[in-house]
């Protein structure tokens, strides 16, 4: 049975064969809750089976699909049935909406066609797809072909357009700016011993974990070192509690953040709490990390943005400010020598409940989600 009114995000792209754009009506492609049974007349063999299915132009919530067909009974085809399913694996997106039908009904239009819909496509997720051709009968039933072969594909990361939407949502709640003077990183004693003994006294970049938005282009790809810079409102100094370890490395802000550093927005998320996190990336100009971010992340003006700023004061010195109402996670993309700062024990507690290591984003939060796959 066709379900009306769910087709507003489906469009047909330019057909290379026809040289024209086919406009699809609102009911041209729909989520369908039908089963895989044959039509009543059992004439599946009368319609051509789609062959050589090709998936292209994949984004985080859309893809183009086309296929070849034999000429027999081609003129009888009125619809295409597209069976789209998430491929189950241990790394699959746990937040994809459940119980949403993934069999689509599309009116027969020139190929390729674009399938778009954030309610059934999530970023960075593997899917399988198969296609039937169908002919709608006067009684509303369908004559259908055999299913095609099954094709696998994986959706893409957020684009800079999607990240800009996240950035704009984060700006709304960033709050006023507070002055700070140091970046800091908490770890256990073993971490710093390893840096001294095996890494030439340097903290080395490592691949970012999968915390935050599922579609973030930096998760599992960007190499860097996490730092914090948030300060306590009443003291203007870093908090004495941390979820990451009792030893803290502190470094002057200008050692990592200065006019020779580029700043990028990386993500905005929460973990089923009132706290919201903004991930920023600091990359020395011309570095490998800088090249990575230029292609994938929105750049920020270091002297004029809502999250983290570096400005010159009247005396020519650098002054730094951070947003008060979000927790900033700052990734620095290059090695950092321990000689640039100090390592000391904090006086507070190790609050493991605040750790964001591999933390999954709350897909229901209206503050930090956008209308694409989570």
Q: How does pLDDT run across 303-351, given as a tens digit for each residue?
A: 999 999 999 988 889 999 999 999 999 999 999 999 999 999 988 665 5
Query: Do the beta carbons of residue 354 and residue 245 sit within 8 Å?
Result: no
Lowest mean pLDDT among 3-12, 186-195, 260-269: 3-12
User: What is the widest separation between alpha-carbon atoms in the chain?
Assistant: 86
Torsion of CA 116, 121, 127, 130, to 10 degrees: -40
Query: Do the beta carbons of residue 295 and residue 198 sit within 8 Å?
Result: no
Measured from the Cβ of residue 95, the count of other Cβ atoms closer than 10 Å reads: 15
The string of pLDDT tens digits covering residues 215-255 is: 999 999 999 999 999 998 878 888 888 888 889 999 999 99
pLDDT at 363: 86
C-alpha distances out from residue 257 to 36, 203, 237, 310, 357, Å: 59, 17, 18, 7, 24
Token pair in block for residue 258: 């200065």
- Residue 279 pairs in a beta bridge with 267, 329
Measured from the Cβ of residue 143, the count of other Cβ atoms closer than 10 Å reads: 22
Q: How would CATH label the architecture of 51-89+99-155?
A: Sandwich (2.60)
Structure confidence at residue 283 as a pLDDT band (50, 70, 90) = very high
In the chain, CATH 2.60.40.10 sits at 51-89+99-155
Instruction: State pTM to two decimals.
Output: 0.78
pLDDT at 140: 85
d(CA 237, CA 83): 56
Structure confidence at residue 4 as a pLDDT band (50, 70, 90) = very low
Query: Do the beta carbons of residue 48 and residue 69 sit within 8 Å?
Result: yes
Structure confidence at residue 118 as a pLDDT band (50, 70, 90) = low
Asked if the model's pLDDT at residue 44 lies above 90, the reply is no
Query: Do the beta carbons of residue 357 and residue 211 sit within 8 Å?
Result: yes
d(CA 154, CA 337): 39
CA pseudo-torsion sign 160, 162, 166, 172:
positive
């Amino acid at each position: 049975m066709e379900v009306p009114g769910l087709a507003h995000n489906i469009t047909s792209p330019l057909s290379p064969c026809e040289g024209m754009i086919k406009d699809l009506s609102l009911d041209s492609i729909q989520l369908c809750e039908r089963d895989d049974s044959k039509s009543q007349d059992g004439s599946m063999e009368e319609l051509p089976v789609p062959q050589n299915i090709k998936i292209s132009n994949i984004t985080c919530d859309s893809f183009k699909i086309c296929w070849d067909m034999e000429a027999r009974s081609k003129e009888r085809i009125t619809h295409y049935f597209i069976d789209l399913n998430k491929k189950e694996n241990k790394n699959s997106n746990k937040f994809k909406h459940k119980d949403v039908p993934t069999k689509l009904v599309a009116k027969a239009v020139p190929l390729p066609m674009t399938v778009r819909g954030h309610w059934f496509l999530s970023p960075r997720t593997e899917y399988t797809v198969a296609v039937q051709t169908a002919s709608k009968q006067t009684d509303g039933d369908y004559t259908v072909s055999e299913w095609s072969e099954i094709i696998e594909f994986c959706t893409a990361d957020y684009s800079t357009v999607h990240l800009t939407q996240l950035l704009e949502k984060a700006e709304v709640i960033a709050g006023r700016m507070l002055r700070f003077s140091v970046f800091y990183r908490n770890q256990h004693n073993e971490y710093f011993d390893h840096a001294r003994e095996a890494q030439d006294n340097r903290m080395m970049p490592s691949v970012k974990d999968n915390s935050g938005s599922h579609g973030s282009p930096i998760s599992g790809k960007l190499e860097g070192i996490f730092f914090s810079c948030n300060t306590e409102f009443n003291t203007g100094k870093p908090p004495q509690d941390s979820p990451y370890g009792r030893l803290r490395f502190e470094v002057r802000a200008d050692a990592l953040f200065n006019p020779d550093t580029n700043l990028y927005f990386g993500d905005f998320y929460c973990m089923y709490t009132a706290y919201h996190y903004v991930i920023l990336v600091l990359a020395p100009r011309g570095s490998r990390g800088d090249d990575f971010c230029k292609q994938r992340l929105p750049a920020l003006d270091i002297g004029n943005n809502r999250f983290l700023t570096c400005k010159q004061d009247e005396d020519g010195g650098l002054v730094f400010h951070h947003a008060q109402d979000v927790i900033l996670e700052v990734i620095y993309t290059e090695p950092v020598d321990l000689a640039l700062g100090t390592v000391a024990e904090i006086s507070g507690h190790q609050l493991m409940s605040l750790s964001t290591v591999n933390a999954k984003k709350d897909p229901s939060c209206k503050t930090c989600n956008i209308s694409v796959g989570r």
